[in-house]
Amino acid sequence: MTDQTPSTTYSATEIMTVTAARALSAEDVCFVGIGAPSAACNLARLTHAPGVTLIYESGTIDTKPQVLPLSIGDGELCETALTTVSVPEMFRYWLQGGRITVGFLGGAQIDRYANLNTTVVGDYDKPKVRLPGGGGAPEIATNCGEIFITMAMSPRAFVDKLPFITSFGHGTGAGSREALGVKTKGPTRVFTDLCVLEPHPDTKELQVVTLHPGVTRERVQEQCGWPVKFADDCSETPAPTAEELKILRDLHERTKLAHQGEA
């Protein structure tokens, strides 16, 4: 039986990961991003959603890694997958075919309508920082049934205006996706180290729906580059349980040992 006793000692990253993991169900087919999304998805698989189907961009289907992958090309993904298909098949048949219920993404920057930037910071032709780029994220953002986003909050990450939109969220607000002929829901939840945000049903602007324990509205506003809105029924995020933290920490410890060559 899972221990549901809340733990009083956890990090901001841990509650972000645990809260994101809880959003997945055993019935989901999930396109997984590397990093924080991968940690959340695998925590869900190891706890309440053992039947969740995890798919990575390299073509691995129903993968069950024992350690978190360093990249989509990590051998752990192929070795533990039910099967591996070509990347063109992954995108054309699985993703564009509407077979994936949830895409789990992160990003360098996000705006109030959940558009993501992973391309440049600053002017595109002469950027301050050249980021890794979109990879498969732009296609994931428009073709998965819905999108979950996991990002730590900071004024540099949550910005009023993106210098470049890599992955389309809700554009400039309600109706933007529909105007482009996009029929999927787009971003439905943003999980951060301070709170959880969801698009307002009418405007599609992100609003805070739960605050993590001990986090104030003022703290959230300090870490956000636009005037934050809070849902009328904004509540407190349930704290991680002792069992969730144990499984997450064990996963990270196995990953650390494996990547150091000590496992």
Which pLDDT tens digit goes with each residue over 209-261?
999 999 999 999 999 999 999 999 999 999 999 999 999 999 999 999 988 86
pLDDT of residue 33: 87
Which pLDDT tens digit goes with each residue over 138-181?
999 999 999 999 999 999 999 999 999 999 999 999 999 999 99
CB proximity list for 254: less than 8 A, separation 6 or greater: 66, 67, 263
Which pLDDT tens digit goes with each residue over 53-81?
999 999 999 999 999 999 988 999 999 99
CB proximity list for 165: less than 8 A, separation 6 or greater: 115, 116, 117
- At the fourth CATH level, which superfamily is domain 12-259? Glutaconate Coenzyme A-transferase (3.40.1080.10)
Residue numbers annotated as active site: 57
Domain ranges of the chain: 12-259
Distance from C-alpha of 40 to C-alpha of 101, rounded to nearest angstrom: 16
Q: Which residues pair with 143 in a beta bridge?
A: none
Give Cα 228 distance to the centre of its chain: 20
